[in-house]
Structure 1
Amino acid sequence: MTSILITSDLHGRLDRFKPLVNQMKALNPDLVIDNGDFLDGSPATFYYKHIDKNLHPMIKLANEIYDVAVFGNHEFHHNLSAIQNLGSECYFPWISCNIGEFAKPYFIKNIRGKKFVVVGVTTHFTPVWDEYGYVKDLNFEDALKALQYWVDYVVTNENPDYLIVSYHGGFTEDPLTGTVYQERVGENQANEILEAITGIDLLITGHQHLYINEKIQDTIIIQPASHGIGFFEVQIDFEQGHSYAIFHQLEEDQLSCSYPNEVENWLDQELTYIQRDYSYNGLLTSRLSSHPFIQLIHDMQLKATDAQISVCDLLYMETGGLNGRITNRDLFINAPREHKLRVILLAGIEIKQLIEQSAAVLAMNQNGEIDFSTNVYPHTPMPYQYDFWGGISYLIDIREPVGHRVKNMIFKGESLENEHYYRVVLNSYRLTGYDFPLLKNRKILSETIQTVPFLFKDYLQSGFPSVVPDHGNFKVIYL
């Protein structure tokens, strides 16, 4: 019996990675693969990038277990020299077949007389999310086309006994039921891979943070969820001619492990104390009217720039905000993304169009309750495509059709003028235009030197007013 272990989308969860590695080692695997988005996205990653710049402990652990890793899109949230440095610190190769000479296309391991080939591939939407031009010199070929070429090459020239495709991308439809997740726009091509390419024994997917364990004809199809909650084990019996996948999930106590002491101590350092309550509770309710925490974010962004109008969003979580003793942990929970703030010009009519797009994420469900439209209709905007606008006041009436919901837009006591241009501050991710195409390729008037976590920290420690002013207000009408 041959054993293959697979992780994906760990996003720097060092707190869970150690028990994960211990469990993987105990299985004495023959081949261990990571499917990308390995480090980026956790307090530990921030700490070892900015506070303690020694070798990241996750890399030390990874070097004890992995045979090969595939580049995910989050690996390219850093400049190319940093990515290359990551590769030099790892004892295992990073592969992807659709980034030209930047990475080798596949990996071979011979196990008890059988040749295993892993072809890696990365969603070619990666440059779409590039905020700083890090990948401008790389050519991300269409993942499906590159994979067709390299699978054919491997089959012809390497004659594998077992062919693995490790794709940092996902599905547009459920591979078994056909349930539609999203339109086929190219970000997630796993369905097309299954339709167009034969002979794949194991298809590893990721990027979407889903749990998938299916077998279609002779192909095992998996996606190992995310953030280190577990890993897949694929068992192959060549003699009996069968194979299957098992998901090993961490125990409850392991899911709530701590980071190393130095990280926990840093997270618990007090930054300031806030008298008023700026916390919120409720994923949906916090999006229906002006909230003190949103005003706080607007205040920070407007003070950090020379903008007249501020745009921000909330993380996709039930609770957040600030109250009482504020630590680095509170800061990172509410502002983890290392985006910069950029100021652009937008006409009043464009601002209305953008708020209309945000307003489209809401709908009434069959119980007559306000809900996210993704829960009501198919092919609708995702909840994270919802922004809050400060410096202006407005109403959103979801009883009206999409595109005609925004009313009474007021700037400094006057109606927002369609043809007048306003200085607007947004984060650098929004300006990639991925969720809001109207924002793509806008001329940038100014950009902060620091990223949002540092700007937020400075604001809390030196620029925080006794009472945060209201920068306009909004309300969602639905009854």
Structure 2
Amino acid sequence: MTISFTSAIPVVDQGPSAADAQVCLRVIATSDLHMHLSGHDYHADATCVRKGLCLTASLIAEARREVQDPVLLDNGDFLQGSPLGDYVAQVSLRPHPMLQAMAHLRYDAINLGNHEFSHGIPTLAAALEQAPFPVLSANTLPLKPNPVSPLIRPWTLLERHLNDQNGQSHLVRIGVIGVLPMDTAIWDRQAIGGQVGMDPMIEAVARHVPDVRAAGADVVVVLAHCGVGAALNGNRPQDEALELARLDGVDALVMGHVHMVFPGPGFAAVPGVDADAGTLHGKPAVMPGFFGSHLGVIDLDLMHNGTSWRVARHRVEARPISTRATDGTPVGLVPPDEALTALIHPAHEAARAWTREPIGHTARAIHSFFAMVTDCPSVQIINQAQSAYVIERLANGPLAHLPVLSATSPFRAGGVGGPENYTNVPPGEILLRHAADLYLHPNTIMALRITGAGLRNWLECAVRGYRQVLLGGVDQPLFGLDLPSFVYDTIGGLTYEIDLSVPPMDKGGQRICDLCWQGMPLDPSQEFILATNSYRGSGNGGYTRRESAGVVLDEQIANRDIVISHIRRVLAQGGSSMEPDRPGWRFRPMPGTSVVFDTSPQAEQHLANQPDLALTPLFRTRDGFLRVRLSL
């Protein structure tokens, strides 16, 4: 199927309407599904009530029963992000189960997110060719001929015949515009290969709103694959939903990308945001979580003044598929949709079988329960694999004399993913699903030429999210900035301490102490090779972007595949199992001082295996985490 990139939609007569007519238009939306179709945790290979479009589908059916003919939309990041997504991309499975599911549920239009590009342009095009509905991205523009651009359009016009308070039917036209983060071109530049570029979101929406209105749209909804953010230091914010809401002609927004829920308490202090009513500068907006955890619902009460429709009132909610019991245990609120479950069952079972392939062995548990407070095996294994790969690739070349270090971060360590969002590989066989657990993202390998001073700055950036701690303070919160775990890089091959008594780098502090390489203080002028990934090496996550001259290796080889090969090589070379290194970093001791942090309740059974940490379990939080005291 081919869809024109900028197809024009003819204006047609609205049909009978009368002054003071009132109708209700419902917009329902998902976002950030990340190929979570079944209610299943592929990393644990267990049923899960907190994720899966099969569960969200039950909420979709309920929302449809409540009102007349609602509009169903998706706001992007639907093709990548789970072992099922990796399997489908690797074997080029057809029909694509996500597009098959969306067609089954009768989606009206979908927006592209940044991760749609993660598996490459050909894979994306092959999937979108199966879409029986408009695929949108107003700020994705072709830079050269490619198979994706003809399959997407900047906006579409949907129609609904809705009955007013007197039973009279009226034609209402809904314009839908889709946009994604401009930085997608940087985050996935290898996979994109210069074939498309991204314009700023605000300029794209502002450019197309008049076109949508001219085509006859009575209501304009923006699918904005971004969160709520403000400009910092005069720079353009990545999360531009607040600014999009200011645009004339925009009536409602669906947000996403940051894996949060709106309306919700996490936005109560943001100027211009009503976190209870679900509005941005007075306009209704919703963000429906991630992995199908919520269904966004926006009800627009439209009133006709004799010439046009206007939004008179609105209601916004994010409906969850699960909640938590008083002890934090997840409790499902809806059953899975039986028809959709049956439809995607063959792909689901094929992916499960694929993820059970053995690749190695571990004598001890590999987990990330304490990855934010110590150098843990779940991170060390990645650093070992990256270093070994880069050393091999640079051997016998002009840079072979430079020592190779490696930087990575814990990918699954709580946060908005909840207490289930931790890596946990039990002793015994390491399976393919465990490798996906260790390395969640579709990054590719990159290596940089960097000085000792650059390494120090890298680490200072990595530890900026910890709170400043007062000497002698008891049970002080350890984390301040709301940063995801994947920005907390550690560098394997160095030893260092983190001094929490001083402020972070952006407030003039220097937290990295006793920074050593091979037992000696690190020389600021000495040169190294730093193995990392394409996301970090391109300057993402708040890190300084390296100049192109600093990049010495940049290959379209997935870091996860490097980890898998490394684990297999250990056994092939006679190793009995994966063995962690000694911890390379720790917090600088502060006698009489303690901090608290949250982790998985499963961490309690591993406390005794952390001899270098003074840990005391305290209680379960309302969100299901285990709160732990760390005595410094």
TM over 0.5: yes
Alignment-derived partner of residue 176 in structure 1: none
Alignment-derived partner of residue 177 in structure 1: none
Of 25-34 and 256-265, deviating more is 256-265
SS of residue in 2 equivalent to 1:90: coil
Using a 3 Å threshold, how does the CA distance of structure 1 residues 44 and 107 change in structure 2: closer, same or farther? same
Of 164-173 and 41-50, deviating more is 164-173
Residue 443 of structure 1 aligns with an amino acid whose one-letter code is G
Q: Which protein shows a greater Rg?
A: 2
Residue 48 of structure 1 aligns with an amino acid whose one-letter code is V
SS of residue in 2 equivalent to 1:276: coil
Q: Residues 74-473 of structure 1: matches in 2 within 5 Å? A: 74-100=115-141, 102=149, 103-112=152-161, 113-132=171-190, 134=192, 136-155=194-213, 157-172=214-229, 185-195=236-246, 197-213=247-263, 214-215=278-279, 219-238=283-302, 241-251=312-322, 252-253=331-332, 260-282=348-370, 286-306=371-391, 308-318=404-414, 319-325=422-428, 326-364=430-468, 368-369=474-475, 371-374=477-480, 383-403=485-505, 404-435=510-541, 436-439=543-546, 441-447=548-554, 450-464=557-571, 465-466=575-576, 468=579, 470=581, 473=584
Q: TM-score, normalised by structure 1?
A: 0.87
Alignment-derived partner of residue 19 in structure 1: 55
Q: What is the alpha-carbon distance in structure 2 between the residues aligned to residue 215 and residue 288 of structure 1?
A: 37
Residue 247 of structure 1 aligns with an amino acid whose one-letter code is A
Residue 3 of structure 1 aligns with an amino acid whose one-letter code is R
Q: Is the 8 A contact 1:131 1:432 kept in 2?
A: no
TM superposition shift of 1:239? 5.8
Q: What is the alpha-carbon distance in structure 1 between the residues aligned to residue 222 and residue 140 of structure 2?
A: 16
Q: TM-score, normalised by structure 2?
A: 0.67
Using a 3 Å threshold, how does the CA distance of structure 1 residues 127 and 369 change in structure 2: closer, same or farther? farther
Q: Is the 8 A contact 2:173 2:217 kept in 1?
A: yes
Q: Is the 8 A contact 2:58 2:335 kept in 1?
A: no
TM superposition shift of 1:262? 2.0
Residue 407 of structure 1 aligns with an amino acid whose one-letter code is C
Of 83-92 and 96-105, deviating more is 96-105
Q: Is the 8 A contact 1:172 1:183 kept in 2?
A: no
Deviations 1:2-52 (A, max 9, x none): 433211111111111123235424526442111111121111101111246
**Are 1:41 and 2:137 counterparts?**
no
CA-based RMSD: 3.0
Identity across matched positions, percent: 19
Q: What is the alpha-carbon distance in structure 1 between the residues aligned to residue 240 and residue 284 of structure 2?
A: 16
SS of residue in 2 equivalent to 1:460: helix
TM superposition shift of 1:359? 2.3
Alignment-derived partner of residue 68 in structure 1: 109
Using a 3 Å threshold, how does the CA distance of structure 1 residues 296 and 106 change in structure 2: closer, same or farther? closer
Of 314-323 and 326-335, deviating more is 314-323
Q: Is the 8 A contact 2:286 2:297 kept in 1?
A: no
Using a 3 Å threshold, how does the CA distance of structure 1 residues 183 and 434 change in structure 2: closer, same or farther? farther
Q: What is the alpha-carbon distance in structure 1 between the residues aligned to residue 374 and residue 125 of structure 2?
A: 45
Using a 3 Å threshold, how does the CA distance of structure 1 residues 131 and 121 change in structure 2: closer, same or farther? closer
Unpaired stretches in structure 1, ≥5 consecutive residues: 174-179
Residue 13 of structure 1 aligns with an amino acid whose one-letter code is H
Q: What is the alpha-carbon distance in structure 2 between the residues aligned to residue 312 and residue 350 of structure 1?
A: 16
Q: What is the alpha-carbon distance in structure 1 between the residues aligned to residue 233 and residue 60 of structure 2?
A: 33
Residue 358 of structure 2 aligns with an amino acid whose one-letter code is E
Unpaired stretches in structure 2, ≥5 consecutive residues: 1-23, 39-51, 143-148, 162-170, 264-277, 305-311, 323-330, 392-402, 415-421, 591-632
Of 27-36 and 56-65, deviating more is 27-36
Q: How many residues align?
A: 464
TM superposition shift of 1:68? 0.8
Residue 189 of structure 1 aligns with an amino acid whose one-letter code is E
Q: What is the alpha-carbon distance in structure 2 between the residues aligned to residue 118 and residue 131 of structure 1?
A: 27
